[in-house]
Structure 1
Amino acid sequence: MSAPLVTILDDEPSVRAMLGEALEEAGFRTMGFARAREFEAALRSAAPDVCLVDLSLPDRDGLTLVHRLALESGAAVIIISGRAQVQDRVTGLELGADDYIIKPFEPAEVVARVRARLRKRAPPEAAGDTARFEGWTAHFDRYTLEDAEGKETPFSHAEGEVLRLFLESPRRLISRAHMQEALGGAAGESFDRAMDVRISRLRTKLREDPRNPRLIKTIYGAGYIFLGDVSWE
């Protein structure tokens, strides 16, 4: 089995070289890109496990690219950016990023975050890549939800993490603290807001009534509970 592939999209050669060296020493394969255009062309033939994306790109808005990757790619997406404002971090997470690292950083921190994201992505041995529940089928191998008529709706990697967490623990209360522990990221307002956004998007894709959701219930002051029978394949 080949080593996980990490792509590095940053227009600073020194940053690409520093990260590439640290990641390769840690056992990863890497590909570096200075332009979004080159990176997107490479995605036609490469399937990265983790994408490191700088927001300040010379030929594309980084946040737009992050959103597209979150929707269309099975890779974990980690933003690396000099933008340290809380709103930038919140926006990045809301658009589907899995993590946000502020420049300047230590290469060892990035390696640790990459490893953490890959651990979070790995499904438990007992679970498969397909879950069936209440007329729906979640395909985690291609990141789509399929309804009873066979119509498919894509979901992002970040949304998939939350959905898998619910489907692995049906009819059990999942607290905010448990979500933070299971999914990673720093606890606080930005994490809570990111979870709210992901859950809202999942409810929309599951065609839930926002005023009275049938499957993903909010237990105010306690957390969430998924009300449905689930079978894994």
Structure 2
Amino acid sequence: MQNTLLKIIENSKTLEEKFLKIANSVQGKIVFSTSFGIEDQVISHVIFSRKIKNIEVFTLDTGRLFAETYSVWDKTQLQYNTKIKAYYPKTNQIENFINENGINPFYASVELRKECCFIRKVEPLNRALQDVKIWITGLRAEQSENRNGLKELEWDEEKQLFKFNPLLNWTTEEVVGFLKQNGVPYNTLHDNGFVSIGCAPCTRAIKPGDHFRAGRWWWEEQSKKECGLHQ
């Protein structure tokens, strides 16, 4: 499968061509995980506008998202007349975590923040990726130092699947230009200094010149600035 995917990626000139060829050539489940950021909206537009049914689109609803995120979720479904599958934290796990540690324990320690991320994001993601052959993401190298070493196609040994990062080498200007050109809904928080948008208590706007991830878990100045979804 790897050789087939590499040939498709190398010989396809557009996102649309890559997705169509992969959807028609690969036997097995193909999924795209969206958090409704600008990168993910580019990919969603291509999948939904061309009605590529062999690629399942899902999202992780942590229960702590911004109202603006739910708004763009709704607008996306309405504009493309589609449904996006949602995965949620397990009720007993999040109840026990909050009852034991409080409603906002992630400010207290890195360990509690990572535990919260695991319950709300990582565990639901693991369920969403069961029996999946190809996982499409909106990761870009420009987003952080941790992503500079990524490749467009990678084998994820832990999850036993191929991870396809089709926007890896896109710039922010290219992403924004695509959205404007195609009239794609986007999270309006991006207009107010929000770059990387996650859960509301853990995300804030950044100033011009700040690092791309400066608005995420800003109280953890020495942290890796990742939640565990992409290792």
TM-score by length of 1: 0.27
- The higher relative CO (CA closer than 8 Å, separation ≥ 6) is in 2
